[in-house]
Amino acid sequence: MKTLYVAGPMTGIPEFNYPAFDAAEHALAARGYLVLNPTHAEKHNPTPGTPQAWGWYMRHCIRMVLAADGMALLPGWENSRGATLEHAIATALDLDVRTLDRWMEAEAIR
């Protein structure tokens, strides 16, 4: 099973864009992918309900990128400081990087 990390913008977007990340996770999982969703980083927050610094979230998310086989990019990713960093890491490691739409066009892996 191919593992995909979802990357996209969060800062400055209502609800930190969680609805788009969660929709992407469900759509990709329905096509047979194992999905790593950065919105789940909050489950590891040592102070629940109190946001951590940007760097804390990025360290958590970069570990997910390293565990992935590919990356699904949400619209607007190129305007996100975090997503561009994740993209740079993924491309440097030669992961299969595509937009979410391209992953959805690909043949289902089931």
* pLDDT, tens only, 56-70: 999 999 999 999 999
Give the start-to-end residue ranges of the domains of the chain: 3-105
Q: How far apart are CA 13 and CA 32, in angstroms?
A: 28
Instruction: Summarize pLDDT for 72-97 with one digit per residue, the tens.
Output: 999 999 999 999 999 999 999 999 99
pLDDT of amino acid 1: 80
Q: Indicate if the pLDDT at residue 17 is higher than 80.
A: yes
**pLDDT reading at 109 higher than 90:** no
Strand arrangement, sheet containing 34-36 = 34-36, 3-7, 70-73, 96-99
**Partner residues linked to 64 by β-bridges:** none
CATH of 3-105, one of 3.40.50.720, 3.40.50.10400, 3.30.360.10, 3.90.190.10: 3.40.50.10400
Structure-token match 């960093």, residue found: 85
pTM (predicted TM-score): 0.94
